[in-house]
A and B are shown apart, each in its own frame.
Chain A
Amino acid sequence: MPTLTYRDALNQALREEMQRDPSVFLMGEEVGVYQGAYKVSRGLLEEFGPMRVVDTPIAELGFAGVGVGAAMAGLRPVVEFMTWNFAVLALDQIVNSAAKILYESGGQVPIPIVFRGPNGAALQLAAQHSQAWESWLAHIPGLKVVAPATPADAKGLLKAAIRDDNPVIVLEGEMLYNTKGDVPEGEHVVPIGKADVKRAGTDVTLVCHSKTVVPALKAAEQLQEQGVSAEVVDLRSLRPMDEETLVASVAKTNRCVVAEEGWPHCGIGAQVVDIIQREAFDSLDAPVLRVTQADVPMPYNRQLERAAKPSPEKIVAAARRVCYLD
């Protein structure tokens, strides 16, 4: 199986889907001539031309709306946001148009669109450029939200998103674009709504998604050295969320830690905890703990930023607590 970067896996998904279906097109800032702010769209302009790889002005609200309008007419747009921080300007189109038109039209007008781009913090980009938006987006009925952590999942989930007849949010990670992994060639579609056990274990379940899969796996290694067997469940899909896999894992381990990049208040972890207390109450041997970004705007200073972010050490500490080791 070929090894690809996360970036190239996304590129492969886009290229294959655009080759497969002439109604698929990509639009966004810098996607064409510049080859993508993060080079996810490298080579696509040359292969598909400017009508299908559309450079937009810096007008997130406007071009997100153009995408939704094109989807209303039956095209399948992939709208790239340079980052999800800028997509906040487009929330009116995502929330009020893309997510609601099917319902308010009584089922007449589907919106088969993908909104994608990097989400969450990178390194020292400060408060406005370091935000994780998944709990905002996953809150909205009418949207699907996925957050792949590996190159294979990036390819498979983006392909699934493009083929879906609904608006799908694809949350990528700037810090993930260079990570490498095995990626199946050709037809590799990961179903939306299925979590993935990235590491099996018996003593504690570590729930994570997107970038936090990396510190969660590191934490699992450290815990192993301390005699604790951790199971790492990568949610992959945040809406719908795979309750079955979560509950099965907690039924086995009886303990759970949820890690995420977002802030604690009303975060994704809160939803996971709701599922577990509701569906796996009798399995629990300890309260579920959460590891999140500190409840502050992201600071610029390197030390402060590190202190704000989830880390393997924080996940290990939480896991030890739910195992009553500390």
Chain B
Amino acid sequence: MEIRITKVGIVSCSGEELPGGTLCRQACRKVLEKLKPHETVTICLPLFIAGGEEERTFASNYPTITVDGCEKLCAAKATEMLSGKPSKSLLIPEILKKRGLALPTKLRDFGPEEEDAAQAVAEEIAKAVDEVLGED
């Protein structure tokens, strides 16, 4: 019997030290709350290491999409290390370059300019969700 996968776990790096981390977090929340609320769940990255069995099990059994704010790729590496290879790994600087948008320069209090960047990243994540669910 074929079991259809209907949920994807979104793992955001949410890095605190870089604007890309905040953008990552904002974009992932947009996907979870507005663009793909029925197809996605969030996975707290720190919970992987803090012994969150539920999170590790979910990420082992369901597809995951990691979203990273910089080239260090913490979300992708941590997910692979502690749970399993992500179905897709997205990198914010690459997405913004493709869309002709600048990386935000502040860590919080995002305005309209940063909002455009968050929307663009969220749309790319949503597209990746469709692709991952379409593959199963």
Report whether chain A binds chain B: no
Q: Which residues of B contact A (CB under 8 A)?
A: none
Q: Which residues of A contact B (CB under 8 A)?
A: none
